[in-house]
Amino acid sequence: MFSENPLLSADKILPHAGPPRVHGQLHAALDLGTNNCRMLIGTASGTGFRVVDSFSRIVRLGEGLHHSGKLSDAAMDRAIESLKLCAARLARRPVRSVKAIATQACRQASNTPAFIERIARETGIHFDVITAREEASLVLESCLPLLGDGSRRALLFDIGGGSTELVWVRMAESGPELAGYVSLPVGVVTLADRFGTAGFDEDGFAAMVDDVIERLAPFEQVHRIAQEIRQGGVRLVGTSGTVTTLAGIVLALKHYSRPAVDGIVMSREAAVGAMDELRAMGREGMIAHPCVGADRADFVLPGCAIFAAIESLWPADEVMVADRGLREGLLMRLIRAERKHTPSRPAMRSYPQQKLA
């Protein structure tokens, strides 16, 4: 049903397990998405990094955005409160550089500039709203350690709150190359907003799947990925809460565990079976499930609908699960910049904007 990925090693990305002793400079990456606010603080370790501290909270920043075109006051307040907690954690450590990014909800909302100014004023953290291409590039960056298994091509997908990124990768002698990407303005929050409780019904779920397939079709027409999959040598890699939840179901985890999930390879049959199991639970069953919970119950089936659309268009035999994303890609860039230009000044305790290489 699944297998462990032998390419993962302890110096890639390690889970936070209490306050470790820190050697080397600390860097921090913050990702303010449509559904979640996340932060990682890490230090270089081997060819990757070691996680020193992490934070993740559902803030539902994009709630109602599909209908209003604006970030709501309640959503912005939730995000600000979470970012204040992040700022407090940053203040306790000698962090050299901070990179903070915002994605689809802030790309879409008309009141984003005022919101970004408010964040800086109330938390001291300066955010950049990144483009869809930058987001796709960071997805690829975070998954690079998983792409050395001999495959000639890879299709990465990141099912977010307000958008879904797909990255079509060519494996060259010099390393993975970005062959194509697309950012669909549809994610778990936008689908939940549009379909509501209808997504829990058979017809509503099918309607969500059909909606996403229609959006994916132009990407398939350009790159002919289905044909490449039939020829073999294509690795499908999913990095999102949807895919990690499916992995938790396949593994029958009593509590979600990143080390147990990150890097495993699920068969197509196992992944589809996990989707069927989630759909059979209903909303109350998902609330009670340890790998879902009340905060995520309304977003699981929209995510499954997006995954089902991807699986329908590109039916690979297996899918690799990556519990990593934009934060990890940002940290790798910050660490690479440190190694390239080792500064002589002492570690900074303030949080200036860091330009990425």
* pLDDT (tens digit per residue) in 31-84: 999 999 999 999 988 778 889 999 999 999 998 888 899 999 999 999 999 999
Question: Does position 355 have pLDDT exceeding 80, yes or no?
Answer: no
Q: In what order do the strands lie in the sheet with 95-102?
A: 13-14, 48-58, 36-45, 26-32, 95-102, 127-129
Under DSSP, is residue 257 helix (H, G, I), strand (E, B) or coil?
coil
Q: What is the pLDDT of residues 260-298, one digit of tens each?
A: 998 899 999 999 999 999 999 988 999 998 888 888 889
Number of Cβ within 10 Å of residue 259's Cβ equals 12
The pLDDT mean for the chain works out to 85
Distance CA 61, CA 105 (A): 7
Q: What CATH superfamily classification does 133-321 receive?
A: Exopolyphosphatase. Domain 2 (3.30.420.150)
Distance CA 151, CA 236 (A): 10
pTM of this prediction?
A: 0.81
Pairing mode, strands 48-58 and 13-14: parallel
Domain ranges of the chain: 2-130+326-340, 133-321
| Identity at 82, one-letter amino acid code | S
Q: What is the pLDDT of residues 207-232, one digit of tens each?
A: 999 999 999 999 999 999 999 999 99
pLDDT at 172 (0 to 100): 81
Output 119 or 357, whichever has higher pLDDT. 119
Give CA 64 to chain center in angstroms: 21
Number of Cβ within 10 Å of residue 331's Cβ equals 27
Angle 136-141-144 (CA atoms, 0-180°, nearest 5)? 125
pLDDT at 23 (0 to 100): 56
| Per-residue pLDDT band at 342 (split at 50, 70, 90) | low
Q: What is the mean pLDDT of residues 345-353?
A: 33
- For domain 2-130+326-340, the CATH class is alpha beta
Output 343 or 71, whichever has higher pLDDT. 71
The closest alpha carbon to 302, from 217, 190, 214, 202, belongs to 190
Output 9 or 51, whichever has higher pLDDT. 51
pLDDT at 309 (0 to 100): 97
Fold equal for 2-130+326-340 and 133-321: yes
Q: What is the pLDDT of residues 311-328, one digit of tens each?
A: 999 999 999 999 888 998
DSSP class per residue in 37-50:
EEEEEEEEETTEEE
| Per-residue pLDDT band at 356 (split at 50, 70, 90) | very low
The closest alpha carbon to 350, from 145, 93, 113, belongs to 93
Share of the chain above pLDDT 70, in %: 89
DSSP class per residue in 6-65:
TT--TTTEE---S-----S-EEEEEEE-SSEEEEEEEEEETTEEEEEEEEEEE--TTTTH
Output 239 or 110, whichever has higher pLDDT. 110
